[in-house]
Protein backbone atom coordinates (compact mmCIF):
# COMPACT_ATOMS: atom_id res chain seq x y z
CA UNK A 1 0.00 0.00 0.00
CA UNK A 2 1.44 3.41 -0.93
CA UNK A 3 2.35 5.86 1.78
CA UNK A 4 -0.11 8.70 2.10
CA UNK A 5 1.19 12.04 0.90
CA UNK A 6 1.84 14.51 3.64
CA UNK A 7 4.61 15.64 5.89
CA UNK A 8 6.95 14.22 8.46
CA UNK A 9 8.97 16.29 10.87
CA UNK A 10 12.63 16.48 11.72
CA UNK A 11 12.87 15.61 15.41
CA UNK A 12 16.15 17.17 16.54
CA UNK A 13 18.94 19.63 15.86
CA UNK A 14 18.79 23.08 14.31
CA UNK A 15 16.03 22.00 11.88
CA UNK A 16 13.89 20.53 14.69
CA UNK A 17 10.16 20.56 13.90
CA UNK A 18 10.78 21.44 10.24
CA UNK A 19 8.44 19.53 7.96
CA UNK A 20 9.53 17.33 5.06
CA UNK A 21 7.10 16.97 2.18
CA UNK A 22 6.25 13.31 1.50
CA UNK A 23 4.81 12.51 -1.93
CA UNK A 24 2.63 9.45 -2.44
CA UNK A 25 4.81 6.67 -3.87
CA UNK A 26 4.33 2.89 -3.94
CA UNK A 27 6.42 1.14 -1.30
CA UNK A 28 7.57 4.33 0.41
CA UNK A 29 7.81 3.79 4.18
CA UNK A 30 9.52 6.67 5.96
CA UNK A 31 11.38 5.58 9.09
CA UNK A 32 8.93 6.15 11.97
CA UNK A 33 9.63 9.02 14.35
CA UNK A 34 10.17 6.68 17.31
CA UNK A 35 12.80 4.66 15.41
CA UNK A 36 14.53 7.84 14.17
CA UNK A 37 14.66 9.17 17.72
CA UNK A 38 16.32 5.95 18.94
CA UNK A 39 18.74 5.89 16.00
CA UNK A 40 19.86 9.48 16.44
CA UNK A 41 20.29 9.00 20.18
CA UNK A 42 22.67 6.15 19.29
CA UNK A 43 24.50 8.35 16.77
CA UNK A 44 24.66 11.55 18.86
CA UNK A 45 28.39 11.32 19.65
CA UNK A 46 29.42 10.65 16.04
CA UNK A 47 27.38 13.06 13.90
CA UNK A 48 29.20 16.35 14.42
CA UNK A 49 31.29 16.90 11.28
CA UNK A 50 30.38 13.49 9.84
CA UNK A 51 30.04 12.66 6.16
CA UNK A 52 26.84 10.64 5.72
CA UNK A 53 25.40 8.52 2.93
CA UNK A 54 21.62 8.03 2.73
CA UNK A 55 21.09 5.10 0.36
CA UNK A 56 17.55 4.45 -0.88
CA UNK A 57 16.85 7.91 0.54
CA UNK A 58 13.13 8.11 -0.18
CA UNK A 59 12.04 11.23 1.72
CA UNK A 60 15.61 11.90 2.85
CA UNK A 61 14.48 11.98 6.49
CA UNK A 62 17.57 10.16 7.79
CA UNK A 63 20.09 12.31 5.93
CA UNK A 64 18.22 15.52 6.77
CA UNK A 65 18.07 14.52 10.42
CA UNK A 66 21.86 13.96 10.31
CA UNK A 67 22.44 17.40 8.73
CA UNK A 68 20.20 18.97 11.35
CA UNK A 69 22.36 17.41 14.06
CA UNK A 70 25.74 18.56 12.76
CA UNK A 71 26.78 16.33 9.86
CA UNK A 72 28.98 18.34 7.51
CA UNK A 73 27.81 16.62 4.32
CA UNK A 74 25.08 14.25 3.19
CA UNK A 75 24.89 12.33 -0.07
CA UNK A 76 21.40 11.08 -0.91
CA UNK A 77 20.86 8.27 -3.42
CA UNK A 78 17.33 7.81 -4.78
CA UNK A 79 16.13 6.57 -8.16
CA UNK A 80 12.43 7.56 -8.11
CA UNK A 81 12.13 10.88 -10.03
CA UNK A 82 9.23 12.16 -7.89
CA UNK A 83 11.15 11.46 -4.68
CA UNK A 84 14.31 13.03 -6.11
CA UNK A 85 12.37 16.20 -6.98
CA UNK A 86 10.76 16.34 -3.53
CA UNK A 87 14.11 15.72 -1.82
CA UNK A 88 15.82 18.51 -3.79
CA UNK A 89 12.94 20.86 -3.03
CA UNK A 90 13.09 20.02 0.69
CA UNK A 91 16.87 20.53 0.78
CA UNK A 92 16.52 23.91 -0.91
CA UNK A 93 13.58 25.02 1.27
CA UNK A 94 15.49 24.03 4.43
CA UNK A 95 18.67 25.69 3.09
CA UNK A 96 20.65 22.44 3.27
CA UNK A 97 21.43 22.16 -0.45
CA UNK A 98 24.93 23.58 0.14
CA UNK A 99 25.74 20.61 2.40
CA UNK A 100 24.06 17.93 0.33
CA UNK A 101 24.19 16.17 -2.99
CA UNK A 102 21.41 14.10 -4.52
CA UNK A 103 22.42 11.25 -6.83
CA UNK A 104 19.39 10.37 -8.95
CA UNK A 105 20.12 6.74 -9.72
CA UNK A 106 19.82 3.19 -8.52
CA UNK A 107 21.91 2.66 -5.38
CA UNK A 108 24.17 0.06 -7.00
CA UNK A 109 24.97 2.40 -9.89
CA UNK A 110 25.31 5.39 -7.56
CA UNK A 111 27.82 3.55 -5.35
CA UNK A 112 30.06 2.96 -8.36
CA UNK A 113 30.30 6.73 -8.87
CA UNK A 114 31.04 7.74 -5.27
CA UNK A 115 34.47 8.26 -3.76
CA UNK A 116 35.94 8.93 -0.36
CA UNK A 117 34.75 7.37 2.87
CA UNK A 118 31.54 7.91 4.79
CA UNK A 119 31.38 8.06 8.57
CA UNK A 120 27.71 7.05 8.73
CA UNK A 121 25.68 5.11 6.16
CA UNK A 122 21.91 4.66 6.20
CA UNK A 123 20.98 1.42 4.42
CA UNK A 124 17.20 1.09 4.17
CA UNK A 125 16.27 -0.48 0.80
CA UNK A 126 12.76 -1.50 -0.27
CA UNK A 127 11.98 -4.57 1.81
CA UNK A 128 10.83 -6.68 -1.14
CA UNK A 129 14.04 -6.12 -3.12
CA UNK A 130 16.37 -8.05 -0.75
CA UNK A 131 19.32 -5.71 -1.44
CA UNK A 132 20.97 -5.51 2.02
CA UNK A 133 23.73 -8.07 1.39
CA UNK A 134 24.50 -6.89 -2.15
CA UNK A 135 24.77 -3.22 -1.18
CA UNK A 136 26.74 -3.98 2.00
CA UNK A 137 29.29 -5.88 -0.09
CA UNK A 138 29.49 -2.96 -2.55
CA UNK A 139 30.18 -0.50 0.27
CA UNK A 140 33.15 -2.65 1.24
CA UNK A 141 34.55 -3.39 -2.23
CA UNK A 142 34.23 0.25 -3.33
CA UNK A 143 36.19 1.43 -0.27
CA UNK A 144 33.41 3.77 0.89
CA UNK A 145 33.69 2.89 4.57
CA UNK A 146 36.27 4.19 6.99
CA UNK A 147 38.00 2.16 9.70
CA UNK A 148 35.15 2.82 12.16
CA UNK A 149 32.18 3.73 9.99
CA UNK A 150 28.71 3.22 11.40
CA UNK A 151 26.06 1.55 9.25
CA UNK A 152 22.36 1.74 10.06
CA UNK A 153 20.33 -1.09 8.59
CA UNK A 154 16.53 -1.28 8.56
CA UNK A 155 14.91 -4.57 7.53
CA UNK A 156 11.84 -6.73 8.15
CA UNK A 157 11.74 -8.14 11.68
CA UNK A 158 12.67 -11.71 10.65
CA UNK A 159 15.24 -10.87 7.94
CA UNK A 160 18.81 -12.05 8.41
CA UNK A 161 20.91 -10.27 5.76
CA UNK A 162 24.39 -11.64 5.13
CA UNK A 163 26.72 -8.80 6.08
CA UNK A 164 30.49 -8.38 5.65
CA UNK A 165 32.55 -10.10 8.36
CA UNK A 166 33.99 -6.82 9.67
CA UNK A 167 30.56 -5.45 10.62
CA UNK A 168 29.81 -5.80 14.34
CA UNK A 169 26.36 -5.22 15.81
CA UNK A 170 26.51 -2.13 18.03
CA UNK A 171 22.84 -1.50 18.89
CA UNK A 172 19.51 -3.00 17.84
CA UNK A 173 15.79 -2.37 18.35
CA UNK A 174 12.50 -3.57 16.93
CA UNK A 175 9.33 -1.63 16.18
CA UNK A 176 6.34 -3.57 14.91
CA UNK A 177 7.46 -5.63 11.93
CA UNK A 178 10.75 -3.74 11.51
CA UNK A 179 14.20 -4.36 12.96
CA UNK A 180 16.60 -1.45 13.16
CA UNK A 181 20.27 -2.13 13.78
CA UNK A 182 23.41 -0.04 13.99
CA UNK A 183 26.61 -1.80 12.97
CA UNK A 184 30.11 -0.59 13.44
CA UNK A 185 32.98 -1.45 11.19
CA UNK A 186 36.30 -2.35 12.72
CA UNK A 187 37.44 -2.01 16.31
CA UNK A 188 35.23 -1.19 19.26
CA UNK A 189 33.88 2.34 19.51
CA UNK A 190 35.19 4.63 22.23
pLDDT at 127: 73
Q: Which own/partner pairs from 127-135 qualify as long-range (CB within 8 Å, at least 24 positions apart)?
A: 127/29, 127/155, 127/156, 127/159, 128/27, 131/56, 131/107, 132/159, 132/161, 132/163, 133/161, 133/162, 133/163, 134/108, 135/55, 135/107, 135/108, 135/111
Domain boundaries of the chain, sorted by first residue: 6-185
pLDDT at 188: 52
Q: Which CATH class is domain 6-185?
A: alpha beta
Query: Averaged in consecutive runs of 10 residues, what is the pLDDT profile of the chain (190 residues)?
Result: 63 90 75 85 94 94 95 95 93 93 92 94 83 89 92 85 87 85 74
Amino acid sequence: MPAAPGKIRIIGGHLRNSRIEVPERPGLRPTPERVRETLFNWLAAWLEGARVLDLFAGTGALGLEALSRGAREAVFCERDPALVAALRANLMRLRQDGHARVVADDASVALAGLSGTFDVVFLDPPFGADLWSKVAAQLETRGLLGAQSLIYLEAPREAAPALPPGWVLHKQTRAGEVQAALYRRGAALA
